[in-house]
Amino acid sequence: MKSLYLGLFFMLFYHISSAQEPRDYTTSEIEAIIDNKKASEGDLYYDKEKKIYYLGLTNGLLLLLSGGGESDVIKNEDGDSYVRVVENGASDSVLVGLNGSRMWAFVNNRFESLTPDENTFIGNKSGVENKGGYNVAVGNFTLQPVSKGNSALGFEAGQNNNSSENVFIGLSAGKNTRGAQGSIFIGSNAGRENENGVGNTFIGTSAGEQSNATSSIHIGSNTGAKVAGDNNIFMGYQAATNQERGSDNILIGSKLDLPNLTGSNQLNIGNLLYGVNVADSAPQLDKGRLSVGVTEAEESAKLEIKSSNKGILIPRMTTDQRTSIDSPANGLLVYDTDTGSFWSFKEKYWAQTVSGLVTLNPNNSGAPYEDSYLLQVSDNGSILEFNSDSDVKLVVEPGLPPGFQVSVTQLGLGNVYFVGDAGAVVKHPYDFDRTSAQYSKAGIEIASDGTIILSGDVTF
C-alpha cells in the first residue's frame, strides 16, 4: 500500500517513470552536487553510504525520496515540503505538506485540511497569499488575498476579495469585491466589480456585475448590472439593465426598467403595477401611492387605475354572505348579487345605493336609539330607506350646507327619531320629532339661514 501511494505521487509530481536508473554516489559526492546545484533534472541519485535516494530537480538541487527503508517520506532538501504515507490497517492515509505551513490528508476517500487556519485551496494560485482562516476555494486564482470564512468555486471566483463570509460561485463571480462582506455571488461575473458592498445577493450571469450596491438583491442574468444605489430588489432577465442609480427600488419582470432611471423608492411589477414612495428606508405610510395602467398616480390619490376599455370589478356576494361579514369597516363596498346593487357599510348599517336610494338595515332589537345614522354632505339628494322593527335615530349635526335635502322612508315597525347633535336643533311647527307609523315618509331640509326643518308623516 505504501509503495502504491508513493508511486502515485511520484508520477504526479516528479515524473519519475521517465527517470534513469540511479547512479551510486558517496555521501561527499552527494553533498557536492547539492552545494554546487549540479543535479540533472529527472536523474536518480543513490547515496550508497547512507542508502538514500534523491531525484534531480530543475534548479540543480536534489529531492530526498527515501531513507533506506527507515522513512515513509518524500521531501525536498530543506524538508519543508513532503509526502508522507501513514499505514493504519484499513485506514491508510497520505499526508501532504507544502512550504512548512500547509498540510492536507487523503484518508478514507476524503480530502482534509490539517492546517491551523482551516483553509482548503485547490487550483493554480488558489489562496496563494490567503491565511485568513476557514476558507474553501476550488478553481484557479480563487481567494488570493487574506480573507476569512469565504467559499469560492470557479475560475477567479472571489479572486481579490479580502473580506469575510461571502459565497462566490461561477467564472469571475465577485472577482474584485475587495470589501464585500456577507454577500452571495452566483453566476459568471455576478457582482464582479461590487467592490465594497455588504449583504448583497447577486444570482445570474452578470447580475450586478458593475453595481457598487449594498443590501441589494439582483436575481436574473444582467439584472441591475450597473446600478449605483442601495436596498434595491431587481428580479428578472435583464431587469433594470439601464438603471443608473437610485435606492429602495423594487422591479420585477424581464427586460423592464423603472420609470425614473435615476430615482428612488419606485415600484414596477410587470409594467402593470407601479408605485412611488413604496420602499422608503424610513417608511411614511401616508406618502406611498400605487397605480395601474399609468406610471404614477395623481398626488391626491393612494391608488389610480387608468383604462379606456376596462373597469373595476368590486367583490360580489349574496345578501347572506354580505351580512355575515365580521366587523365590517366603515366605507366597505360590495356588490350584492341578490339585490343587483352596491352596498356600503356605515356605522351600524349596510346602505344600499341605487340612483340616490340608500336602504338602511340596522337589524337591531335593543332599546330605542341603540342604532343611529349620521347625516353627511354626501347624503344630499338621497332617499334614506329604513327597515327596522325597533326605534332608530337620524342624527343631524350643524354644518350641513343650505339647500341640503334628504327624504326618509320607514318600511319597518319602529320609529325614526330626528335628533339634532352638537347644538343643532331640528325644527317642526308642532315640535314633532319622529315618523308617525310604518311606511311613513319624512324630509329634512337645511334652510338658507341654516335652520334644520322637518316635514312629512311625523308625530311626537
Check if the beta carbon of residue 426 is closer than 8 Å to that of residue 419. Answer: yes
Look at residue 68 and tell me whether its pLDDT is greater than 60. Answer: no
For position 378, which CATH number holds? 2.60.120
pLDDT band at 204 (very low <50, low <70, confident <90, very high): very high
C-beta separation of 404 from 422 below 8 A: no
| Neighbouring-strand partners of residue 444 | 406, 454
Q: Which residue has the cell 460561485?
A: 169
Q: Is residue 148 part of a domain?
A: no
Separation between Cα atoms, residue 24 and residue 293, nearest integer Å? 91
Residue that has been written with the C-alpha cell 339647500 in this structure: 403
Residue 42 contacts residue 19 (beta carbons within 8 Å): yes
What one-letter code names the amino acid at 390?
A: S
What is the Cα–Cα distance from 397 to 188, expressed in whole angstroms? 70
Q: How confident is the model at residue 40 (pLDDT cuts 50, 70, 90)?
A: confident
Runs of H (alpha helix) within 283-409: 319-323
**Quick one: pLDDT at residue 358?**
61
- Residue 11 has a pLDDT of 40
| Domain termination site, one of 111, 133, 161 | 111
CA distance 97 to 1: 20
DSSP codes, 293-321: SSSS--TT-SEEE--SS------EE-HHH
Mean per-residue pLDDT, 141-157: 93
pLDDT at 141 over 90: yes
Nearest CA among 434, 401, 429 for reference residue 416: 434
In a domain, 298, yes or no: no
End-to-end Cα separation, the chain, in angstroms: 115
| Whether residue 223 has pLDDT greater than 50 | yes
pLDDT value at 369 more than 60: no
Domains of the chain: total:
2
User: Which of 55, 78, 111 is the C-terminal boundary of a domain?
Assistant: 111
* pLDDT for the residue numbered 391: 86
**Does residue 297 sit within a domain?**
no
Long-range pairs for 254-259: beta carbons < 8 A, 24 or more residues apart: 254/220, 259/295, 259/296
H-assigned helices in 271-423 = 319-323
Average pLDDT over residues 230-234: 95
Which H or E element spans position 341? strand 341-346
In-domain check, residue 130? no
CB 122 within 8 A of CB 137: yes
Q: What residue has cell string 439593465?
A: 241
β-partners of residue 357 are 354, 383
pLDDT per residue as tens digits for the range 294-336: 999 898 888 999 999 999 999 999 989 998 999 899 889 999 9
How much is the pTM?
A: 0.60
User: Are 190 and 203 in contact, with CB atoms under 8 Å apart?
Assistant: yes
Q: 284 pLDDT exceeds 70? A: no
Q: Which of 111, 133, 148 is the last residue before a domain boundary?
A: 111
In a domain, 371, yes or no: yes
Rounded percentage of the chain residues whose pLDDT exceeds 70:
78
Domain presence at residue 97: yes
Under the banding of pLDDT at 50, 70 and 90, the label for residue 8 is: very low
Is residue 376 in some structural domain? yes
pLDDT tens digits along 444-455: 999 999 999 999
Does residue 78 or residue 161 have the better pLDDT?
161
What is the average pLDDT across 176-181? 87
Task: Give the highest mean pLDDT range of 355-359, 380-384, 446-450.
Answer: 446-450
What's the average model confidence in pLDDT over 422-432?
A: 91
Instruction: Give CA–CA dist 165/132, Å, rounded.
Output: 11
Which domain does 70 fall in, by range?
Answer: 2-111
336 contacts: CB under 8 Å, gap ≥ 6: 317, 318, 319, 322, 342, 343, 352
Q: Say if 443 falls within a structural domain.
A: yes
Q: Regarding predicted confidence, which is higher, 97 or 203?
A: 203
Q: What is the mean pLDDT of the chain?
A: 82
Range with the largest mean pLDDT of 83-87, 211-215, 231-235, 389-393: 231-235
pLDDT of residue 7: 44
